[in-house]
Structure 1
């Protein structure tokens, strides 16, 4: 269906692909993995025809349709979200837009003299629309938007008024409504809450086309893919199975390669020692010459490529009192929308609360109240004695000084720390080599999130309040963070849509629902077992 044959690609001085080959067959669902900057987006752009390889070829079978969702969403406005999504369905979308314009024209008294022509054109457009089964398209578009978390009001509102994250969802809905033969999905799980993520997971699991996708959410990938294509050092390697199986196979292959490398190095050392010892002796000239030729012919085994992962170890956090946070009789509303009415919530030392709730249930608001970055309308928020709080919020990334480099930003926060300690810290959070000299203004969302997290955890507070801490983090950094936080001895209150993160770190669940607040004594895994659902807004 899609074949990449001996492709080569270079961006500036960087070699992205060297004689790389892979394929995607009909019905295959493949995950594309590799370190940041390995060339995942470049590969998508070559398959979709937006870029060409320098060498080799990308071939797509005749008649195969491709839908490509990327993180680069253009500006859109002037249409409703529903109409914008239907635009992706070809002529029906255009007819829908024209019908909306003609309906506005019919209601415009200034155009009364054109009314006969407008009504006639409207009849023609409506007939074409019916012929193409357009009325069911509107229902299908709304079904996809509903799955991705849109209210009816948002579906009918101007798409231009939506935030960047919601515009991403519109772009994703557009591709899903197309139902192409091949879906290319570049991080579709970003910007989704847990309910939308699970809806998308179920949609893709039953999708009858082929899928090639990247995702930083390993649980999401595990449930969808049956093949992994890895990009590493310019090569493409395919593994059959899900992400967990790929990791196991990769570890076994690395171990075998390391053993082969060490055996060969030992053999080479012996041969070289013999040559060095006897090269000056005429009596051994033939043997020396024979061994030199033998060495020249040997295929050298390379050392396995090291994944750059640095373990982060917490300094011990100072001990807090038993009562960490106490919220009593909290009322909170935004305009006419009541978020909380009489909320009571108690956080004790070493509890790790994850907060679950549908969009708009008040998850981030609760964190803001605890962090004192928002005030309740009524009631009280008390933070316990000896509590040192660290608050990670999405807007924290906007507060970085764009003119400072990564290392300067760390120095500003920790003037007493030595250079080597700060460089190690930067390395733990994925900044290696020259990357620590990057200015903050050029950092990606993921890099900014990693830098803010590094600052938060270097001198650890004993109470961590985290709002979607894994947004933008790649799987490797996320694993490092989970490992580090599982050894953390302080108290945690967090919101996350990453089920692996939720299951690994929570020991309490606070569920916010329209019917009220529910607490669960176990963590997220126990919550799923006891409720039979993975999120408050969905029932399995």
Structure 2
């Protein structure tokens, strides 16, 4: 269906692909993996024809329709959300408007002389409208938008007034509604809450076309794909199976290649030692020549490519008292919307609370109240006297100074630390090589978030309050964070849509519902077993 044959590609000084090949068959669901900057977006752009390989060929079977969701959504304005979504399928809104004009013209006695022409044109327009399934399209568009978290009011609103994250959802909805033969999805799980993520998971599982997707959410990817294409060092390697199977197979292949490499190195050393020992002796000349020729013909085994792995170990956090944070009788409203009425809640030492609730339930508000970033209307919020808090929220990125480099920012925060540990810290959070010299003002949103988190964790607090800490982190960095936080001995209160993160780190669940709060003594895994659902918004 889609074939990449011996493709080579160079962007500036960077060699992205060297004689790489892969194939996508009809109906396959494939995960595309590789380190940041490996060429995943370049591959998508070559398949869609936006870029061409320097050598080799990208071929797509005739008649195959491709839908491409990228992180660059472009301009959206001037239409309702539902109209913008339908526009992705074809010129539905233009056809609807023309049909309305033609219907008005058919009832206008002054246009009687043009009636034959008007009726013929109406037939043509209506035929195109039927071909695009126009009459049912509005309902299907609303179903997709609803699944991605849009309220009825938002669907009717101007798409231009939405935030960047919600515009991303509209762009994704356009591709899903189109139902092309093949979907190329570049990080479709970004900007989604857990309910929307699970809805999308179900939609893609039931989609009968071909999917090639990237995602930083390993749970999401594992439930959808049955094949992995890995980009590494300019090559494309295909693995049959899901993401978890790929990780196992890759580790096994590396072990086998390392063993093969070591065996060959031992054999080569033995042969070279023989040649060096007897090369000057005429009695052994034939044997020496024979072994030299043998070595020339041997195909050398390369050592396995060493994937950069990141590790971060917390310094010990100072011990807090038993009572970390306490809310008593808290009321909080925004305008006419009441968030809490008499909320009582307490975090105790070494508890790790994950906060669940549908959009608007007050998850971020709770974190702001406990962090002191917001005040209750009535009631009290207090933290223990020995509590040292670290609060991660999107606005936390405002603390970065634009003209400083990443390294200078870390040095300004930790002047006594020395460069070596700060460079190691930066590397753990994705700033390696020259990236540590980037100025903060040119960092992407994801890079800024990673830098803020690095600064927060280097001098560890004993109470972490984290609002969506895994946004923008790739799988390797998430794994590092989960491993580090699993050894962390402080208390935690966090919101996340990453189910792997929730399951690995929580030992308490606070669920915010319209009827008040529910608490669960076990972590997220026990919550799922107890409720039968992975998120509150999915419960009937």
Report TM bin, short chain.
over 0.9
- Secondary structure of the residue that 1:537 maps to in structure 2? helix
Residue deviations 1:341-366, cap 9 Å, x none? 11111110000000011111111111
1:480 shift after superposition: 0.6
Q: Single out whichever of 86-95 and 366-375 deviates more from structure 2.
A: 86-95
Aligned ranges for residues 454-473 of structure 1 at < 5 Å? Answer: 454-473=454-473
**Are the equivalent residues in 2 in contact too, given 1:216–1:474 (CA < 8 A)?**
yes
Mapped to 2, the partners of 1:97 and 1:68 lie a distance apart of 27
Mapped to 2, the partners of 1:317 and 1:267 lie a distance apart of 51
Q: What's 2:139 paired with?
A: 139
Mapped to 2, the partners of 1:191 and 1:180 lie a distance apart of 23
**Are the equivalent residues in 2 in contact too, given 1:96–1:129 (CA < 8 A)?**
no
| Residue 339 of structure 2 is aligned to residue 339 of structure 1 | yes
CA spacing shift, 1:339–1:296, aligned 2, 3 Å: same
CA spacing shift, 1:306–1:93, aligned 2, 3 Å: farther
Q: What's 2:156 paired with?
A: 156
Q: What's 1:109 paired with?
A: none
Aligned ranges for residues 133-282 of structure 1 at < 5 Å? Answer: 133-282=133-282
**Are the equivalent residues in 2 in contact too, given 1:32–1:229 (CA < 8 A)?**
yes
**Are the equivalent residues in 1 in contact too, given 2:34–2:232 (CA < 8 A)?**
yes
- Secondary structure of the residue that 2:238 maps to in structure 1? strand
**Are the equivalent residues in 2 in contact too, given 1:34–1:232 (CA < 8 A)?**
yes
**Are the equivalent residues in 2 in contact too, given 1:468–1:496 (CA < 8 A)?**
yes
Q: What's 1:329 paired with?
A: 329
**Are the equivalent residues in 1 in contact too, given 2:333–2:377 (CA < 8 A)?**
yes
Mapped to 2, the partners of 1:129 and 1:370 lie a distance apart of 57
Aligned ranges for residues 85-100 of structure 1 at < 5 Å? Answer: 85-96=85-96
Aligned ranges for residues 131-530 of structure 1 at < 5 Å? Answer: 131-132=130-131, 133-530=133-530
Q: What's 1:8 paired with?
A: 8
| Residue 19 of structure 2 is aligned to residue 30 of structure 1 | no
Mapped to 2, the partners of 1:382 and 1:98 lie a distance apart of 62
Mapped to 1, the partners of 2:84 and 2:451 lie a distance apart of 36
CA spacing shift, 1:97–1:409, aligned 2, 3 Å: farther
Mapped to 1, the partners of 2:339 and 2:539 lie a distance apart of 23
TM-score, length-scaled by structure 2: 0.94
CA spacing shift, 1:345–1:285, aligned 2, 3 Å: same
**Are the equivalent residues in 1 in contact too, given 2:5–2:57 (CA < 8 A)?**
yes
**Are the equivalent residues in 2 in contact too, given 1:99–1:125 (CA < 8 A)?**
no
**Are the equivalent residues in 1 in contact too, given 2:92–2:129 (CA < 8 A)?**
no
1:437 shift after superposition: 1.6
Mapped to 2, the partners of 1:96 and 1:460 lie a distance apart of 59
Q: What's 1:536 paired with?
A: 536
Q: Single out whichever of 379-388 and 433-442 deviates more from structure 2.
A: 433-442
**Are the equivalent residues in 2 in contact too, given 1:185–1:211 (CA < 8 A)?**
yes
Residue deviations 1:462-514, cap 9 Å, x none? 00000000001000110010000000000000000000000000011111112
Q: What's 1:77 paired with?
A: 77
Residue deviations 1:305-354, cap 9 Å, x none? 11211321111100001000001111111111111111111110000000
- Secondary structure of the residue that 1:36 maps to in structure 2? coil
- Secondary structure of the residue that 2:536 maps to in structure 1? coil
Aligned ranges for residues 57-76 of structure 1 at < 5 Å? Answer: 57-76=57-76
Unaligned runs of 5+ in 1: 107-112
CA spacing shift, 1:125–1:524, aligned 2, 3 Å: farther
Q: Single out whichever of 446-455 and 218-227 deviates more from structure 2.
A: 446-455
- Secondary structure of the residue that 2:512 maps to in structure 1? strand
Q: What's 2:44 paired with?
A: 44
CA spacing shift, 1:244–1:465, aligned 2, 3 Å: same
**Are the equivalent residues in 2 in contact too, given 1:309–1:430 (CA < 8 A)?**
no
TM-score, length-scaled by structure 1: 0.94
Mapped to 2, the partners of 1:2 and 1:329 lie a distance apart of 60
Mapped to 1, the partners of 2:274 and 2:451 lie a distance apart of 52
Q: Single out whichever of 173-182 and 265-274 deviates more from structure 2.
A: 265-274
**Are the equivalent residues in 2 in contact too, given 1:83–1:96 (CA < 8 A)?**
no
**Are the equivalent residues in 1 in contact too, given 2:99–2:126 (CA < 8 A)?**
no
Mapped to 2, the partners of 1:355 and 1:257 lie a distance apart of 44
CA spacing shift, 1:97–1:262, aligned 2, 3 Å: farther
Residue deviations 1:205-247, cap 9 Å, x none? 0001110000000000010001011111111111111100000
Q: Runs ≥4 in structure 1, deviation > 6 angstroms? A: 120-126
1:450 shift after superposition: 1.9
